[in-house]
Amino acid sequence: MQVNWNYIKLALLSISVVGLYGFADHRSKNREIGDITVKFLGDNNLYLTEDAVNKLLIQNYGTVKNRPKEQLVLNTIEEVILSNEMVKNAQVYFTVNGELISKIVQRKPIGRVEGVSKFYLDDTGQRMPLSRHHSARVPIITGEITGKTLEDAYVILDYINEDDFLRKNVIGIHIEEEGKYQLRFRMENFVVNLGGIDNLNAKFKNFMAFYAKAAKDNSLEDYAIVSLEFNNQVVCTKI
């Protein structure tokens, strides 16, 4: 009977590969975590620190460094990080060298509510707590704070943030009541009665035309109230 050595060699090679893979996998699972790196993505990294993330992990998951990789559940670690109210998104993974990397996107405030409760309104329209580490320079929201008026304030802020001039100059939104919103500007004495959130594009287009003309005439200081509440009109009240 003739022995086919090629089959034998192939079988031995397969056994060796499986054995090496199993050995490498065993070593990988039992390798201890070395460095822990926290990376904040984007340009909005002012409200949460690396130390705060590490403390959060220790308090809710236990010590991570020097633990075997097989004892760590990445999804659970991500959930722990996401439990912090300053975090918008988190991704956690291991490197081949046993380093644990946490990539974190922080939430972005676009308005600050000053009422009975004080908090930020973030760029998704959700409530966001104030930070001990940084105070955001965003428009202040005052007046009649309700769920509906905050929804409307978010729509106004979202529009303002899309316009360079408005984003730099609007410093406050005062809510008189639902459907009556008033804007305050950084360099001007007048207030802008916006009315409701209907037809924002037309209202601000009319306002910009008024502002450009009044700035050219050096008459901006003459006005106390600029109203955009009426259809396709800018009604001004002088001081």
Long-range CB contacts for residues 83-86, cutoff 8 Å, separation at least 24? 83/56, 84/48, 84/52, 84/53, 84/56, 85/128, 85/129, 86/47, 86/48, 86/128, 86/129, 86/131
- Ranking 36-45, 46-55, 61-70, 204-213 by mean pLDDT, the lowest is 61-70
Q: Which position has the higher pLDDT, 74 or 28? A: 74
- Alpha-carbon radius of gyration of the chain: 29
| Residue 223 pLDDT > 80 | yes
Rounded to whole angstroms, the maximal C-alpha distance in the chain is: 113
35-53 mean pLDDT: 86
With cut-offs at 50, 70 and 90, classify the pLDDT of residue 140: very high
Q: Which position has the higher pLDDT, 101 or 19? A: 101
| Residue 18 pLDDT > 60 | no
In angstroms, the CA 236 to CA 20 distance is: 81
Please, what is the average pLDDT of the chain?
86
| Residue 218 pLDDT > 70 | yes
Q: What is the pLDDT of residue 162?
A: 95
44-64 mean pLDDT: 85
81-92 mean pLDDT: 94
pTM flag (> 0.85): no
Q: What is the pLDDT of residue 37?
A: 86
